Amino acid sequence: MNVFLNINSSEVVTYTARLERMRKSALPNAIRNTLSKAALDVKQNTMPKSAKRTFIQRKPQFFKAASTVVFAKGSDISQMKSAAGFKQLPNDKGRAVDDLNQQEFGGKIGGRDYVALKGARSAKSWHKGVRKDLRIAALDRMINSDKASGKNDKEKFVKSAIHAGKGGLVRGNIKNSSGARTIYLVNKVMRKGKNTVIGKTAVYSEKDNRQVKPPATHFMGKAAEQSSKRVEQIFINEAAKQLARI
């Protein structure tokens, strides 16, 4: 969403006229500061609130760290502009920011072969991050039950779980209706009579080349809309500062 400052609106026209009669730099200074502060208001105030209403924030500092402001520059009023948005963070490879863009407007988010389930998260809560011992790197030690010997899928899985042991990870050999498999954490291996019982927790959903299609959130657009309601007052404040210098 674009936010504009109309210096000829009924609310600000008096200030505009007075600034135009002052020194040449007065009006450009007021407009430049207004645009910059409006963008800063998005970053510091309206965007964090909009994000909190929209997303489960497992890393609350992400939006503060990744958001940035481009301040207005120069003295040509017709060319002045500012912006609030997101920047790539170190070691992120732009993925989180790109995902935000897809969620803002609605689109496809790729690279979702593995999706962490509730059981993989701290306190088994969707609001928490993935446990350190169950992050993606842990899947390197996963046992693939498809490759086990056995007369059926159940026997193959049980043998794989026994091999993995308590704390191990096993890829299930049954696909659900969407073609995804489940990866399990082995909690315990028990003998009950002639049977072996596996205590397990589902920790990941796996599907090759999966793309997630989230609905558009427009969380940044909503933030900009809220900040736009303050633009005229910001301009009036900045104009008053310029007039006070007379």
Name the residue ranges covered by the structural domains of the chain: 13-108+214-243, 114-206
pLDDT of residue 129: 87
| pLDDT band of 102, cuts 50, 70, 90 | confident
**Range name among 110-114, 152-156, 219-223 with the lowest pLDDT average:** 110-114
| pLDDT band of 245, cuts 50, 70, 90 | confident
- Alpha carbon 193 to its chain centroid, in Å, reads 50
Residue 127 has pLDDT above 90, yes or no: no
- Per-residue pLDDT reduced to its tens digit, 186-218: 999 999 888 899 999 999 999 988 887 888 889
Q: Looking at residue 165, what DSSP letter applies?
A: -
Mean per-residue pLDDT, 94-114: 77
The alpha-helical segments, DSSP class H, found in the chain are 13-20, 26-41, 47-54, 62-66, 95-105, 153-164, 219-228, 231-243
Residue 117 has pLDDT above 90, yes or no: yes
| pLDDT band of 1, cuts 50, 70, 90 | low
- Per-residue pLDDT reduced to its tens digit, 34-77: 999 999 999 999 999 999 999 888 887 889 989 999 999 999 99
The angle, 0 to 180 degrees and rounded to 10, between the axes of the packed helices 13-20 and 26-41 is 140
Half-sphere exposure of 150 (CA within 13 A, CB side): 15
pLDDT of residue 69: 95
Q: Looking at residue 129, what DSSP letter applies?
A: P
- Alpha carbon 210 to its chain centroid, in Å, reads 18
